[in-house]
Structure 1
């Protein structure tokens, strides 16, 4: 009975060490920091142990190997007599002793695998932070009590790691990919709402997107000329009810300032004519380079205390305008409905009518495409089809990518105004590509 009790104690100790090893290694730092900030000292102890885990793992390996050796010695001596009696009921030949030993080995090994290794590690993997917080003080005490052995084996392991030019301590840096993975896991199990997931995802995109992906392009800018008469000014405001308008002298690149539509409205309500004057203009314009990221643009708007900016290229030519609302639209995505014209209109389950100025990042998200070829050469879906064709496309021209067909359906001069994107079936795509090769 004492031997059976000894085996049970060894299994319990093996389970404790195996569970502690997995729990402390798998405990997430982000969650531990939250618990530590709430005043839990054990959580901070786990964080400290993760920073320098060498001594802890040395102690664990010493303990587990000692338990395994003792378990084999005691287990074989304890179970062999019982196994011999059981085997004698069915076999009494020359191999009876060897068969009893083999059965004893299989039984003791199975007990240790199941109860001292597999089940404890699964429990630790399911709730690593909870287990780590409960066992950390005991593990620290055991590590201290075995200091001579720990120093010896840990020192040898450090020397071997340095010989192979490997780090001796874990360096944990939380990357964007790690945060995204946590977000996806949270969205899948329901702890993070879908709208929260999309909102955080849009936030990460601000650093990877530049102003041309969200700005109003040059050819779509509505502006006033200083020589415009009252009727022209009034008609532009009626057709394009914007808050602010650029005012130039002859051409768009000769900007004089901006004027608010309410200033013109005030003139009309007072019985006068709509007219432009240098005194009525706001000459303090915010200029942003087109290479600026959306995140940097937000900071620029914050510093300038304005909601309107002119986007220029490296030659100081106006390429577009952007407002704070444009940036917020990009950040909020589909979470807040807007009444502006949609760039993407879904026709059915497998086709979409898309504005040529739609950013390629939005198309990737819509079609769930990982990447487009040579994305650094263009920013819009119109730019993609031009790049693929190596010329200005004509109406009904098309290209293929992934499992989609991108067809120009509306050409305004040389501008690709609209495209039709169609998802093709596998056999249809193969047939189309074969026909292209034959032609």
Structure 2
């Protein structure tokens, strides 16, 4: 074999090795979700890639056979054809000429394979894994068919060893909520998702974690009527508290018999002077839900019942609040939902915030950049965090320091924390109270 034939053969071996290397990384790196989208758009080659990823034994066997066979052949060709050429060129440098010829042959063949057959194809495959994978999957399937006896032998032997060791070889690619969070964050950082889109997606996942108590109107803010209240009393209360819905009770809040809608009742008042709150034309049956439901469960309950208003009760069947569909959607939409209420978190300066005591922990964590609060399973609001950490009934000026922030109570109402002042604190102490 002359030097020209040897170089041509080496080039062929380099091309084969490049194809195998590129195939190996592309098929391993191709993302399942992207391939499913491509298959849905009509590229059936993506289905072949997905099938090969589920059972990668045959593919890996072909890769190893190809890489090892090509490496051995390249060494033989280099030693048999290229080395004698360098021997003749370096004959004058005896006794070191033969050693130099071997080193030059090794450097030439190995360097060519590293650069052209390994480095460049793998960089291409890892940059565009799905595009490369769908192009090489059919040739790879043909090679698997062509070398079926070798594939069957080596793959079967490997499977037997894995079975003896009780190791599963089936690729599992289950998508978790953490994976989706990571992808959404990456999309936001890359500019693919707008800030509002990122905010909405994050809030949708929060719905599964938050309970209804984090967004309901608590007991002390519930406006209700006694079933025997006069028309004048009802109209006066409606003018003072212009809600769209009011509970109707038999004496007290623990005996809810239904609710009325303001527009329906006022329409009847215009037609009739005296309308009883128990009139079936205005009184509607209440939807009762437990305070342990997540916001996602509440949304599903509203959907199945056809209601958009519910009374929240605790384990003792006591009314603890009311919640509307708008309350639930405000968690998802946030600032996109029009509301006349003041925001629960107001930033005063670069390093200080005014926070309502009823603000859910998730909103505080997002506003302050805090990853977690200690023992957060025991409370849901920032007021709950303060009470749990202080271990006493809170009063004004009580404070604690956590995660580089000072949380100070500046207003209370009926033993309830109404407002806090949060400021950055230079101390790194985990917690301090006064």
Worse overlay, 398-407 or 74-83: 74-83
Residues 155-185 of structure 1, C-alpha deviations (whole Å, 9 max, x = no match) = 1211222233211221221222222222223
Please say if 1:21 is aligned against 2:24.
Answer: yes
Give the structure 2 partner of residue 256 of structure 1.
257
* Matches for 1:68-147 after TM superposition, within 5 Å: 68-81=71-84, 83-84=86-87, 92=93, 94-147=95-148
Q: Give the SS at the match of 1:373.
A: coil
**Aligned partners of 1:60 and 1:69: how far apart in 2?**
14
Contact 1:353–1:418 (8 Å) recurs in 2: yes
Residues 111-131 of structure 1, C-alpha deviations (whole Å, 9 max, x = no match) = 211111111111111111111
Selected match of 2:15 from 4, 12, 19:
12
**Aligned partners of 2:91 and 2:239: how far apart in 1?**
104
How far is the alpha carbon of 1:147 from its aligned partner? 0.8
5+ residue gaps, structure 1, are none
Give the structure 1 partner of residue 427 of structure 2.
429
Residues 312-345 of structure 1, C-alpha deviations (whole Å, 9 max, x = no match) = 1111111110001111111112334432231111
How far is the alpha carbon of 1:88 from its aligned partner? 6.8
Q: Give the SS at the match of 2:209.
A: coil
Worse overlay, 96-105 or 73-82: 73-82
Give the structure 2 partner of residue 380 of structure 1.
381
**Aligned partners of 1:186 and 1:387: how far apart in 2?**
37
Worse overlay, 128-137 or 230-239: 230-239
How far is the alpha carbon of 1:86 from its aligned partner? 6.7
5+ residue gaps, structure 2, are none
**Aligned partners of 1:224 and 1:280: how far apart in 2?**
16
Change (3 A) 1:281 1:335: closer
Q: Give the SS at the match of 1:253.
A: coil
Change (3 A) 1:235 1:14: same
**Aligned partners of 1:170 and 1:393: how far apart in 2?**
54
Change (3 A) 1:76 1:398: farther
Change (3 A) 1:118 1:286: same
Please say if 1:54 is aligned against 2:54.
Answer: no
Change (3 A) 1:384 1:38: same
How far is the alpha carbon of 1:349 from its aligned partner? 1.7
**Aligned partners of 1:278 and 1:223: how far apart in 2?**
16
Q: Give the SS at the match of 2:315.
A: coil
**Aligned partners of 1:383 and 1:192: how far apart in 2?**
34
Contact 1:56–1:143 (8 Å) recurs in 2: yes
How far is the alpha carbon of 1:388 from its aligned partner? 0.6
Residues 17-57 of structure 1, C-alpha deviations (whole Å, 9 max, x = no match) = 11111111111121211221222221111112112111111
Q: Give the SS at the match of 2:254.
A: strand
Please say if 1:45 is aligned against 2:63.
Answer: no
Give the structure 1 partner of residue 161 of structure 2.
160
TM-score of the superposed pair, with normalisation by structure 1: 0.92
Q: Give the SS at the match of 1:429.
A: coil
Give the structure 2 partner of residue 241 of structure 1.
242
Contact 1:264–1:275 (8 Å) recurs in 2: no
Change (3 A) 1:435 1:26: closer
* Matches for 1:263-412 after TM superposition, within 5 Å: 263-266=264-267, 269=270, 272=273, 276-279=277-280, 281-412=282-413
Q: Give the SS at the match of 2:423.
A: strand
Contact 1:233–1:275 (8 Å) recurs in 2: no
Change (3 A) 1:375 1:147: same
Worse overlay, 74-83 or 63-72: 74-83
Residues 60-84 of structure 1, C-alpha deviations (whole Å, 9 max, x = no match) = 1111111111122223444434555
**Aligned partners of 1:420 and 1:86: how far apart in 2?**
84
Give the structure 2 partner of residue 181 of structure 1.
182
Residues 214-250 of structure 1, C-alpha deviations (whole Å, 9 max, x = no match) = 1111112121223445554334322321110011122
**Aligned partners of 1:312 and 1:229: how far apart in 2?**
28
Tell me the matched-pair count: 431
Contact 2:48–2:137 (8 Å) recurs in 1: yes
**Aligned partners of 1:392 and 1:71: how far apart in 2?**
81
How far is the alpha carbon of 1:280 from its aligned partner? 5.1
TM-score of the superposed pair, with normalisation by structure 2: 0.93
